[in-house]
Amino acid sequence: MPLDHRLSPEHEQLRRTVEAFAHDVVAPKIGAFYERHEFPYDIVREMARMGLFGLPFPEEYGGMGGDYLALCLAIEELARVDSSVAITLEAGVSLGAMPIFRFGTEEQRRRWLPALCSGESLGAFGLTEPECGSDASGTRTTAVRDGGEWVINGSKSFITNSGTDITGLITVTAVTGRKPDGAPRISTIIVPSGTPGLTVAPGYSKVGWNASDTHELSFSDVRVPESHLLGAEGRGYAQFLSILDEGRIAIAALATGLAQGCVDESVRYAGERVAFGRPIGENQAIEFKLADMATRAYTSRIAWRDAASRLLAGEPFKTEAAMAKLHASENAVTNAREATQIHGGYGFMNEYPVARMWRDAKILEIGEGTSEVQRMLIARHLKAA
C-alpha cells in the first residue's frame, strides 16, 4: 500500500505555526547569539510557552498530547532557520525527557516530566564518554550501591543541554555490575543538576551549533537515591539503543530542515544577486544546483516521515530510521556546501545564514550515530533479511 505523507490538518497547523515562529522570532535574533556562543534563553522560553517541549507527551504529565511526528515537524521548521535551537528542542525532548517517559516508573514520570514538558527545565542524555563514542558498550562510568544510594564515578563528553541555568537532570549510563560472561551490566540513573560531586566543565569551543549548550561532565562520588534507577538494572544500554533509534528520526528531520533552509536562502539570493547584467538564478548552472538541492531536501523529508509513520504505527522502524538519518545528514552537508558556493564570497561571511548552516551541517553526520554506524545497521538488516 502506498504511504500517504500528507499531513493531517492538526499537524499542518502546527507546522505552519512553528514555521512562522522560526522566521518571525528566531531568525532576527539567533545570529547574534550564535556569534557570542550564547545560549538563547529568551527564545527557549518562547518555545516553552508554545508547548514545544511537551509536544509528544500525554497531557497527564503536562504534555500537549501530540506524537513524535509533531515533534519532528517542529524540529524541521526550526532547523530551516537555525540548528542550535532545533538541537536544543531535539535533545531536550527525545534524549532528555523521552527516556523517563518510556522507561520510568509512574512516580518518576510524575516527578520529572511536568517541568521538562513545560520547558521550565531541560533534560540531558549522558551516554558518550571521552574514550567511547560510537561504542557505547565500552562505558567506564560506574555506579555502586551504598546504603540505599548509588555512588557514581566517571565522565561524559559532548552532552547537550547539560550546563544551562535551567538544566534539571542528566540521565547517566553507568556500569552497575558484570554479567556471568564478564560483560558490563549497564544501567541508567537519573542525576539531578547541582548534585554534589557533579562537575560541569566550561562549554566546548565548537565549529557549529554555537548557540546550543554542550559540556563535558565529571562524576566524583556523586550520590543519588536508589530510586533514581531508570528502568530495570542492567537494561540501560538496551534502553538507550531504543532511544537512539527514535532520536535518529528527529535528527533526520533536523537535517532536512537545514537542507531546506539552504534551498530557501539560495533561491532568495539567486533571485537578488545580479552578475553580468542579470540575476545569477537565471544561469542554468545555478538552476541545476537549486533543483538538485530541492530534490535532496524532498527525499530527506520523505525518508524521515516514513520512519516516523512506522514508529507511530507500532511497526519496526530501526532500519528506516538509520536510512533516514544517513540520507538526510549527508544531503544536509551537500546542500550546505552548494548554498555556500551559490553565495560566493558572501557565503563565507557569518552575517549570512548559509555560513551558519555550513558550519552546523557536518555534526549531523556524526552525532547520534555516525554515517558509518548507520551503514553498519543497514547492512546488518540486509544480511538478516
Mean pLDDT on 182-196? 94
| pLDDT beyond 90 at 385 | no
Q: Spell out the domains of the chain, with CATH numbers in brackets.
A: 9-122 (1.10.540.10), 124-233 (2.40.110.10), 238-384 (1.20.140.10)
Q: Angle at which helices 68-79 and 284-312 pack, to 10 degrees?
A: 160
- Give the other-Cβ count within 10 Å of 234's Cβ: 17
Mean pLDDT on 39-62? 97
In the set 76, 90, 265, 368, the catalytic residue is 368
Query: Among all chains, which residue has been given the C-alpha cell 560483560?
Result: 183
Please tell me the distance from the alpha carbon of residue 290 to that of residue 270, in angstroms, as a whole number.
9
The yes-or-no answer on residue 368 being catalytic is: yes
3-state class of 275 per DSSP?
strand
Written as one string, the DSSP assignment of 50-65 is TTGGGTTS-GGGT--S
R_g of the chain, CA atoms, integer Å: 21
Mean pLDDT on 58-80? 97
Q: Which three cell numbers mark 135? A: 561504542
Mean pLDDT on 10-29? 97
Q: Express each pLDDT in 79-90 by its tens digit.
A: 999 999 999 999
**Regarding beta strands 142-146 and 198-200, do their DSSP bridges make them parallel or antiparallel, or are they unpaired?**
unpaired
Q: Yes or no: say if 129 and 155 are a contact pair by the CB < 8 Å rule.
A: yes
